[in-house]
Structure 1
Amino acid sequence: MKRFLLLSLPLLALSLQAAECNMAFGHGILIAPDHIRILQNNRTHVQINADKQLFIRGEWATLTEEDTALLHQYSQGLRKFVPEIVSIAVDGVELGLSSIEAMFTGIGSKAQQAEWRELVRETTFQWMSRFVRTNEHFYLAPQSLNELDYFLHGELKPQLDNLARHTVGAVWGALRDALRHSDSNFERSDNQEWQSVGQLVDRINLGLDAKAVELEEKSALFCQRMQELDKIELQLQQRLPALVAYDVVAEKN
């Protein structure tokens, strides 16, 4: 029992640190290889080109050497941090979807498969509008670290559970109909893994739990990075007052 308590203490400390962190992103952030864009209501208000040129509301800002050094430090901080956060969330979504889609590969008619895939797309559209990863482009919508934690624990898991139960039930219905009437409207892959709904849900939850643990283990580090970025941002705002209106990294009350 004593050994169990000792092993539990590090996880408890991580949970407490995550709960105490109230840092948040107040604007959407798009990271691309040659620029960074700060967005509000899907419009670019601030853009950093090549980590050294700054545009505020479309106007080029004249920078001193000290300003440029601070901007480069700020830009590099966002580049190292934002893609890591986005990837944790996107990996969780893709893990669940790939498991679900694998179930109806080769089953049912083309129309049925199109219907199931459309259901998956509709269900995930809202998630993926908050976290986007396309090649070397990463987008993070305004949110706090606590909201990201809730996304993995409170939103993604139950919705993927419902989606899995709905689509797998439909898949098995199509399979039963096909076997009852004919096998002309579906093909079974030799490598097809037939799973029960419970098995599929357990598999998805296991992967999501791993992502949640990964986020929890990094939460203290993430919070520290955001606090450091906030300090750099404050220095930039003091030197360039036009940036005060675009507080990207902030402490959330």
Structure 2
Amino acid sequence: MSAHAPLPITYFSDLLCIYAYASEIRLAKLAEAHGARIRVQRRFCVTFGDTEAKIGEGWKDKGGWEGFADHVQEVAAGFPHLEVAQAIWRDVRPASSHAPHLFLKAVELACGREDYETATLALRDAFFTEARDISRGEVQRSIARAAGVDVGAAEARIEDGTAFAALAGDYEAAEAQKVQGSPTFVFPEGRQKLYGNVGFRIIEANVAELLRARDPDEPAWC
């Protein structure tokens, strides 16, 4: 790997995960701190593939949907920068994160990285702040159009099957790299992983040390 090439960081997340939503500010801070020295690749892992099984059944002894909704609000309260609608998981219950993941992989293939990242943020915001059911196709398309995405081009990638293949690639990569859940930062060659609600200073320390180790004028201590 060239010392001048950006440091690749893979960021795995599930679109419906509150901790991943909270981590968006950490991604923004990393970009602000390091700019072109790093390159973050967003990929998807699956945590909310079947929300009825995960929440409706899995939280049955902890209050079910209402209990999980309370849990999300408690998590959000720990992040002053977040605004989370009270209706999510109480009244608005997306059936699966597979559907928006598929749509976003189609956007990535058809429209490129910038539109993919824009649409990812737009869908995530729409769910958490506006309580919109982003598992529904018409909701995905409406949000993406408002963000300036060529929805027709993206839909063509779903129709021809390539978006399914791209999403399968993300899930298989997450499994191969032993990603435990959402969100997870994976550093080059999978040697280091940071999973869950990890503070920015820890992420930043890892990134800074990896960048330092790639500098031929600096001794590598990690």
For the criterion TM > 0.5, the same-fold answer is no
State the TM-score, normalized to the length of structure 1.
Answer: 0.23
State the TM-score, normalized to the length of structure 2.
Answer: 0.26
Higher helix share: 1
Higher strand share: 1
Query: Rg bigger for which structure?
Result: 1
